[in-house]
Structure 1
């Protein structure tokens, strides 16, 4: 049971955080229209709110594409993509430090053969592994939690995150820009 104590504490922290945001109504108000309007109303404060909400959203399971779509619709493909990239990296970093602070490297304590095998592969080439995971799963909160709890070093996490988010964000920007043009939103 001792092995699972830190994982349980992380789970309880995330559950309480989600409950607070769900029952306060904040989570329901973080949507595409709200984010878009904040950015349009005032670019500087809007982008700060956007980044803060991206960080919180990453902890409470709000999909990252909502933030990216809002930025692309408000700022266009290029500036929206850059704003999303910066906010995504900041968000992943905040999640890493929050979860690492609470849970340490709790996944290393598991004696499950599957977990040991995955961690061994991550240890072999951490940056390359993180780039691949980010390219496939972008800012998915479960990936952030797992990487933070894996014991991977922060600089490896950061480099892998920064490199791995480039391609998916570019593709999403083109996609959302195309959708916006198709329905005449820009």
Structure 2
């Protein structure tokens, strides 16, 4: 299948998914209060719901910081950070595998010199590149889509993701913990 056709299928899939969530009213549940209440009310099932919502939220462009804030304000900075790290890694993996299944390595077939230059850089140091991208952009869905379509091996993607996420998650945990204490949310 031609790369542009694959990219179009990915865009149509993501648009249909977003429309489904928007028109069904499910997108309303992707907020700090709902996520926090789920975790507080049901420690085990709440965490499973948290991971599932993180996966789905990442696919439909919900910022990861909402999930992190909910976890930190519900579980504290250590356990909330750990829960978010695990959920983020699972979410990024889920997004990667879903988009790779639909779009393959469509970016490899593009004739754009800028895209080819970026792919050469990614090919030269995939784990280091992905780890650095995670430090800078965390779980940004567009990054997950681009990396999935880049043809990078899943295990390298996963290792880079696991290495790059701890630092930004830790910094966000400290920030949200500070805000939570400042606003007496605990």
TM-score over 0.5 (shorter chain):
yes
Distance in 2 between residues matched to 1:98 and 1:71, nearest whole Å = 25
Please state if 1:127 is matched with 2:130: no
**Number of aligned pairs?**
186
Root-mean-square deviation (CA, aligned residues, Å) is: 0.9
| Pairing of 1:7-156 with structure 2 (within 5 A) | 7-156=7-156
Please state if 1:181 is matched with 2:157: no
SS in structure 1 at match of 2:62: coil
SS in structure 1 at match of 2:158: helix
Distance in 2 between residues matched to 1:3 and 1:15, nearest whole Å = 18
Distance in 2 between residues matched to 1:130 and 1:43, nearest whole Å = 32
Q: Give how far 1:3 is off.
A: 2.9
Distance in 2 between residues matched to 1:77 and 1:9, nearest whole Å = 40
Distance in 2 between residues matched to 1:30 and 1:2, nearest whole Å = 35
Q: Give how far 1:28 is off.
A: 1.6
Distance in 2 between residues matched to 1:70 and 1:13, nearest whole Å = 28
Q: Which runs of 5+ in 1 are unaligned?
A: none
Measured against aligned partners, the alpha-carbon deviations of 1:101-149 in whole angstroms (never above 9, x if no partner) come to 0000000000000000000000000000000000000000000000000
SS in structure 2 at match of 1:139: coil
Q: Which runs of 5+ in 2 are unaligned?
A: none
Q: TM-score, normalised by structure 1?
A: 0.99
Distance in 1 between residues matched to 2:67 and 2:35, nearest whole Å = 7
Q: TM-score, normalised by structure 2?
A: 0.99
Q: Give how far 1:30 is off.
A: 1.2
Where in structure 1 do 4 or more consecutive aligned residues deviate above 6 Å? none
Distance in 1 between residues matched to 2:133 and 2:80, nearest whole Å = 23
